[in-house]
């Protein structure tokens, strides 16, 4: 049987940057757009259900992808075959569903919330396999195609979701369209492009699967704990406050997540050069690029704080059709938290290129203890502003520990190279 293959365009660094940016922007905006639609068509109760369900499904997504994207892209030695990575993705997705069932049972969510969560988790499952193929395009020099795929599929999904919700007025019907759209997109777009490089044929090699597990596990645990930390104030709100409060927190926190995603589109094009500079002991180049990336995070955060103070609440009120004028302080605290979150994500990315991602577990282990205990106390005593304060404390703590570890690694690397007499540009 002949493979269905799309012809590949010429490679272009400019297109890589532009389409990766468009993909990141679309992905950053889609959750905001969906919340806007839900808030206008449905009441605050259903908006609260959707906000919690979407955030929880994103946490489940981290289990499915198991943070293999960066490892897949930076696998310069070809240690892992694509067939092996496909097998690994199938296994991690199965584990994700088992964990989802246990998590929903443990949290004792109401029936409607669980159903919406399950459907959006199915969407994240399809999205995870699309990410697998996008990673293969990225690895082969076509980040532009990966970015285009991301931008188009989330945009198409959002359009279908919106039309369905407006016509049916039923949230459940709208969320059902989400996984359907992505599955169709993967079949008609991602697979034909991927066929230029690899056949979609799972290959199981126990030794290779164990190596992937050991390589990705620290990064996955860090990402999963990061998602739980992000969601912990929402779970505290679910326990202590109302669905309407959940919806309002969801409206206010949405731009925070966008800061993180807007930063990622600058990180990704630098992954390959960062990994090469580190492997070749070009520490000056590595540090120079690192500083530029941190400066970018600072610029984005300052811009977000200024825009948020001047326009944030009025725009959010217009978008979500909700009264938020008394929640300006909550919003500003959350925006500042987003800056520290983006800085933490960058540091995690740097540790990945250095293949020292296991060190991030120390930072997340410290922060998760705080996240498991303190948000509920903050929310119980301070309401929504307590949720924002709890999240800010979590992000500051996480970044502080990561930054200390990163500086120690750089200093040790310089000293070790000098001791061994190895050539370095420092």
- pLDDT (tens digit, 9 = 90+) per residue, 233-247? 999 998 898 888 888
Which pLDDT belongs to residue 257?
A: 72
The predicted structure's pLDDT at residue 1:
37
Q: Is residue 141 part of a domain?
A: yes
Residue where a domain terminates, one of 204, 237, 268: 204
pLDDT of residue 222: 79
Contact 247, 48 (CB under 8 A): yes
Residue 1 lies in a domain: no
Q: Give the total number of structural domains in the chain.
A: 2
Nearest CA among 118, 117, 69, 59 for reference residue 89: 69
Structure confidence at residue 412 (pLDDT): 85
Q: Choose one of 171, 204, 237: the last residue of a domain.
A: 204
Q: Residue 226: its pLDDT value, please?
A: 82
**Are residues 169 and 245 both part of a single domain?**
no
Are 146 and 267 members of one domain? no
Q: What is the pLDDT of residue 420?
A: 67
- pLDDT at residue 3, rounded to an integer: 66
Residue 209 lies in a domain: no
Query: What whole-number distance in Å separates Cα of residue 27 and Cα of residue 38?
Result: 17
Q: Which residues of the chain have pLDDT under 50?
A: 1-2
Q: Is residue 325 part of a domain?
A: yes
DSSP for 292-361, written as a single string = HHHHHHHHHHHHHHHHIIIIIHHHHHHHHT---GGGHHHHHHHHHHHHHHHHHHHHHHHHHHTT-GGGHH
The last residue of a domain, from among 163, 182, 204: 204
């Amino acid at each position: 049987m002949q493979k269905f293959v799309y012809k590949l365009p010429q490679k272009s660094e400019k297109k890589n940057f532009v389409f990766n940016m468009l993909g990141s922007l679309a992905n950053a905006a889609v959750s905001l757009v969906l919340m806007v639609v839900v808030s206008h068509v449905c009441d605050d109760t259903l908006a609260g259900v959707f906000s919690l369900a979407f955030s929880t499904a994103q946490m489940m997504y981290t289990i499915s992808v198991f943070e293999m994207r960066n490892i897949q892209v930076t696998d310069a030695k070809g240690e892992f075959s694509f067939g092996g990575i496909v097998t690994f993705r199938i296994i991690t997705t199965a584990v994700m569903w088992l964990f989802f069932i246990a998590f929903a049972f443990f949290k004792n969510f109401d029936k409607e919330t669980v159903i919406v969560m399950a459907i959006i988790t199915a969407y994240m499952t399809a999205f995870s396999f699309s990410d697998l193929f996008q990673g293969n395009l990225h690895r082969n020099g076509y980040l532009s195609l990966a970015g285009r795929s991301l931008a188009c599929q989330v945009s198409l999904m959002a359009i279908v979701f919106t039309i369905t919700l407006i016509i049916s007025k039923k949230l459940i019907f709208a969320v059902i369209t989400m996984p359907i759209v992505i599955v169709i997109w993967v079949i008609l777009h991602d697979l034909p492009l991927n066929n230029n490089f690899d056949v979609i044929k799972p290959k199981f090699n126990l030794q290779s699967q164990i190596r992937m597990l050991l390589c990705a596990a620290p990064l996955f645990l860090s990402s999963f704990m990061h998602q739980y930390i992000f969601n912990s104030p929402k779970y505290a709100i679910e326990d202590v406050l109302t669905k309407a409060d959940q919806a309002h927190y969801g409206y206010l926190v949405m731009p925070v997540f966008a800061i993180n995603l807007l930063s990622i589109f600058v990180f990704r094009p630098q992954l390959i050069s960062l990994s090469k500079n580190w492997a070749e002991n070009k520490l000056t180049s590595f540090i120079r690029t690192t500083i530029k990336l941190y400066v970018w995070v600072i610029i984005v955060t300052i811009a977000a704080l200024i825009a948020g103070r001047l326009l944030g609440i009025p725009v959010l009120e217009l978008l979500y059709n909700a009264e938020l004028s008394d929640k300006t302080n909550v919003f500003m605290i959350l925006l500042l938290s987003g800056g520290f979150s983006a800085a933490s994500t960058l540091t995690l990315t740097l540790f990945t290129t250095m293949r020292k991602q296991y060190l991030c577990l120390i930072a997340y282990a410290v922060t998760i203890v705080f996240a498991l205990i303190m948000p509920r106390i903050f929310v119980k005593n301070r309401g929504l502003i307590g949720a924002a304060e709890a999240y800010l404390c979590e992000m500051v703590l996480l970044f502080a520990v990561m930054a200390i570890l990163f500086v120690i690694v750089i200093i040790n690397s310089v000293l070790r190279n000098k001791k061994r007499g190895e050539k370095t540009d420092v």
